[in-house]
Amino acid sequence: MNDPARESVWLALSELWLDVEPTEADLAYIARTLAVSGFSLDELDAIYRLEVVPVVYPNALATAGEWTGFDADWLFEKCRRNQQRRTYFLYRWRCWFLGRTVGALMNAHLRQVLARVVELRERTDDDPS
């Protein structure tokens, strides 16, 4: 089943794992995408750690990793499978371990993006129009 909001979040978060340092514009795009998704910060974090990271982390280990963007169909198929596995203990443990090892590489960027999401949502809440 397609969930366009979740798919846009998967695609945006996968950009943190490309074989290039994200630019200011990249981080702003990712934050805007997450801000309008409707997902809570906790759910965005869970989507990242449990659905996206297990799919894209090998790119950080590759000698010449993907740098232009992941194939959307491939990414969506893999992330959908991970979404269905989220409740299994062993799968969650594996994701926790990935987050503590390879995933730690991208934690700073994720924190930056989530802080921007908060700012964007607060601005929208304060907008009287």
| Domain residue spans of the chain | 4-126
Classify residue 120 as exposed, middle or buried by CB count within 10 Å of its CB (0-12, 13-18, 19+): middle
Query: How far are the Cα atoms of 27, 32, 112 from residue 24, in angstroms, in the given order?
Result: 5, 12, 10
Q: In whole angstroms, give the CA distance from residue 31 to residue 119.
A: 9
Per-residue model confidence (pLDDT) at position 119: 96
**Helix ranges, the chain (H):** 4-14, 24-35, 41-46, 53-56, 58-61, 72-85, 89-100, 107-126
Q: Half-sphere exposure of residue 127, counting CA atoms within 13 Å on the CB side?
A: 7
Q: In whole angstroms, give the CA distance from residue 92 to residue 87.
A: 7
Per-residue pLDDT of the chain (129 residues; tens, 9 = 90+): 689 999 999 999 999 988 888 899 999 999 999 999 999 999 999 999 999 999 998 887 776 667 778 999 999 999 999 999 999 999 999 999 888 877 677 788 999 999 999 999 998 877 665
